[in-house]
Amino acid sequence: MSHAIEKFRTRARAVNSLLCIGLDSDPAKIPAVFNGNVLAFNRWIIDETAHLACAYKPNSAFYEARGAAGWRDLHETVQYIRGKYPDIFTICDAKRGDFANTNGYYAGAIFDDMGFDAITLHPYLGQEALTPFLERDDKASIILCRTSNPGARELQDLTVENVPLWAHIARTVSGWWNERENCMLVVGATYPDELRMVREIVGEMPILMPGIGAQGGDVQAAVSAGVDSHGGNLLVSASRSILYDVDPGSAARSLHAEINRYR
Amino acid sequence: MSHAIEKFRTRARAVNSLLCIGLDSDPAKIPAVFNGNVLAFNRWIIDETAHLACAYKPNSAFYEARGAAGWRDLHETVQYIRGKYPDIFTICDAKRGDFANTNGYYAGAIFDDMGFDAITLHPYLGQEALTPFLERDDKASIILCRTSNPGARELQDLTVENVPLWAHIARTVSGWWNERENCMLVVGATYPDELRMVREIVGEMPILMPGIGAQGGDVQAAVSAGVDSHGGNLLVSASRSILYDVDPGSAARSLHAEINRYR
C-alpha cells in the first residue's frame, strides 16, 4: 500500500473522520475581514477545522486564476498544513492528464515541490500516460470516474463492453490498484446509485466523493452508498458550504457528525 | 465563426503555414548560453521562427513545474507574442477539464488574464462543464479526441454506439462546432488512419495535430490525412525537434516546407 493511502487511512481512524475540506478560496467571496488575503483565510479555515479534517483539497483553478501570486498561496497553504498538521492527507484537485513526459513535470510540481500527497487526474490518455503518477509508491493518484456535475452523463454514461464508461473506468483502475494500492477514484455524491455500483466494483479502494453541500448531494444516501463494508475508505468533500459559512468550524462539526451517523 | 478561429485561418493564409511551435521549454535542456532563463530562450525561439509560425503552443506543465516563477514566464511569453506578433495564434496546452464553476476560473486565467486565443481541454465531464470555454465567441476550445501517446488506445478505442470513443467525441464536438464555430480537436499524427476518419467526420473544423518530430509521427502520412479538402484547417505541432535543434530557425524552415509539400 502506498504511503499516501496509509496516511489517509490512519488519519481517518485517528480523528474518526471522512471529512475532506475543499480549499476553493476565492478572494472575492472570503469574509471582508481578510481583505482578500487568501493565505490568511486558508490558515484560519485550517485552524478552525483541523481537528475534524481527514483531508484538505485545494482546487488549483482558484489559485491559477490569480497568476503567480495565487500559485504562491497554493504552495504556502500546503506548506502550512504539512508543517502544523503533518498527519492530514492533502490533495491537489488539479484534474491533470497529459502525456507521460509532460505528466512528469506535473508530478514534480505537485508531488515533490509542493509536497501534496495526492492529485486528481483524467483517465482519457490511459495508464501509460499516467505512469509518472502511478509509479509513485509514496503518493496517491485519484482518477475521475463518475463526476458530480449535471452534464456528467453525456460521455460517462456511454455503454462500452456492456457497462457504462464510468463502470469500465472503475474496473480498469481496480486493476491499477491491484498493482500498487496507490490510487483512488472520484465519484460524485449526486449519483448514489452509481456510487454503490462503483463501491461493489472496487472493494476497499478509497473513493473521493465531492458533490454534497452546495452541489446538492444527499449526505445519507451518498455516504451509505459510498463507504466500504467496514464503513470507511471514503472521503466526503465539501467546500463552499464550509468555507463561506458564518462559522466554518461549526459547519465542519455538523457535517462531520452527519457523515458519521450514516457510515 | 469565433474571432480566434478566424485569427488562426487568417494567419495560416498570410504566412502560408500550418506550423505550430510547442514552447515546452525546460531550463535543464535549453542551450547553456541562456543560463536557464526560459523567458529569454522563448523570446529567441519566437524571433527566430515567427515569420514561419501559424501558432505558438506552450504546455503549462513545463511552467508550473517551476512554481510562481514559471507561471510568470508563461505569462510574459504570451505577452511577448501578443505585443510583437499579434497576428500569431496562441494556444495554452493546459489540458484542463473541471466543473463549470471551476472552469470559469481557468477561463479567466488563461483567456482573459494571460490572453491566450485557445486552450486544450478534456472532454470527460461533457459540454455542460465546458460552458465557460465554449460560450466564448472570441476564443477557441480545443478538445482532446485521439491523442498521440502510445497508450491512447486503452480508453479512446473502446467501442461506443458502434464506433470508437474517439470517433464519438469527434461527432459530439462537431455538434458543438455547429453551434458557434469556436472549437477544434486534438488528433495525434501517430495515428494517420484515425486522423483521416476524424477529418471525414468534422469537415472544415480545424484540427491540432501533435506527434511529429520527437514523437515519431510521419509528416507525409499525417499531413495528407489531416488537412481538409482545401489543404488547410490543420495545425501541425512540433516542440522538442525545433526548440532543441542547434539551429531552431532552420529546423522550423525545413518542417514548414515539408508540411507544405504534402498539403
The interface predicted TM-score of the complex, written ipTM, equals 0.96
Whether A208 and A93 have beta carbons less than 8 Å apart is answered as no
Mean pLDDT score across all residues of chain B: 96
Q: Report the number of secondary-structure helices (H) and strands (E) in chain A.
A: 13, 10
- Rounded distance, CA A146 to CA A162, Å? 17
- Rounded distance, CA B250 to CA A44, Å? 55
Task: Give the mean model confidence (pLDDT) for residues A66-80.
Answer: 96
Whether B8 and B55 have beta carbons less than 8 Å apart is answered as yes
Residues A142-179 have pLDDT tens digits of 999 999 999 999 999 999 999 999 999 999 999 999 99
Q: In angstroms, how far is CA A158 from the centroid of its own chain?
A: 25
pLDDT attached to residue B207: 98
A169 contacts in chain B (CB < 8 Å): 155
B103 contacts in chain A (CB < 8 Å): 61
**CB-based contact B67 A65, cutoff 8 Å:** no
**CB-based contact B105 A149, cutoff 8 Å:** no
Burial B213-237 (b: 16+ CB within 10 A, else e): bbbebebebbbbbbbbeeebbbbbb
Q: Identify the H or E element spanning B209.
A: strand B207-209
Q: Judge whether A98 is closer than 8 Å to chain B, CB to CB.
A: yes
Could you tell me how many CB contacts below 8 A there are between chain A and chain B? 170
Residue B162: closest C-alpha in chain A: A160
- Rounded distance, CA B208 to CA A88, Å? 42
Whether B28 and B66 have beta carbons less than 8 Å apart is answered as no
Instruction: Give the pLDDT band (50/70/90) at residue B200.
Output: very high
Residue B114: closest C-alpha in chain A: A67
Residues A229-241 have pLDDT tens digits of 999 999 999 999 9
A121 contacts in chain B (CB < 8 Å): none
pLDDT attached to residue B215: 74
- Rounded distance, CA A237 to CA B138, Å? 35
Greatest Cα pair distance in chain A: 54
pLDDT attached to residue B165: 98
Least confident of A169-178, A248-257, B192-201, B206-215: B206-215
Q: Judge whether B154 is closer than 8 Å to chain A, CB to CB.
A: yes
pLDDT attached to residue B155: 96
pLDDT attached to residue A215: 74
Q: Which residue has the cell 525561439?
A: B45
